[in-house]
Each structure stands twice: as structure tokens, then as C-alpha cells.
Amino acid sequence: MREVLDDENLAEKAWSDVTPDGYRMDIYVSDVLKDRTNTLPVRLVEVGLTMRWTTGIKEKVLTLKTMKLINKVTLATTPATAAAPTSAAPRTAGK
């Protein structure tokens, strides 16, 4: 979740990823309240992350959701060549 939130160029999208140790992540970013933020210098996005893994014969699920305000002015001045994260794999302790 932290890697997704740290991206200053969040765009509406959804994707899935599987970690080497078998965790499946379904992630989405969607703009919310577009009509209310259209004239403001910020936009509001919702970020959702659902983790799925198997323990024995049971599937476990954890869903996290949050919102983020993004400054439209910063987006307009951010270079288009900035590298976007290629993986949303969870970070390990100490990194």
C-alpha cells in the first residue's frame, strides 16, 4: 500500500500481482468526487488493496482502503519521464 501511495502520479487503474511467496494482490486507484474537486487545485483518489493467501485449505483475505489528496499543480510540473514503480510487492522489514 505504501508503494502505491508514494507514487505522486497516481492515475485511475486497476491491476493484480502475485508475490514469489504466493500472496495475490488486487489493487485499484480511482478518482472520487470528480464533480466536487473539478474546480479545486486538488483531486481525491481512493486506493484499495486486497491481499489473498491460502493457509491450509482456507483462503484468507485482507482488504485495505484509503484516500489521498493529490495536488493538481504538482502534477502539471512533474516531469513526464519520472519512473513509475513496476511492482507493488510488499516491503520487508528494515527496507
The per-residue pLDDT for range 40-74, each reduced to its tens digit, is 888 899 999 999 999 889 999 999 999 998 888 76
Spatial separation of the C-alpha atoms in residues 64 and 11, rounded to whole Å: 18
Q: Give burial (CB, 10 Å; 0-12/13-18/19+) of 25.
A: buried
SS3 38: coil
The pLDDT of residue 92 is above 90: no
Q: Which three cell numbers stand for residue 72?
A: 493538481
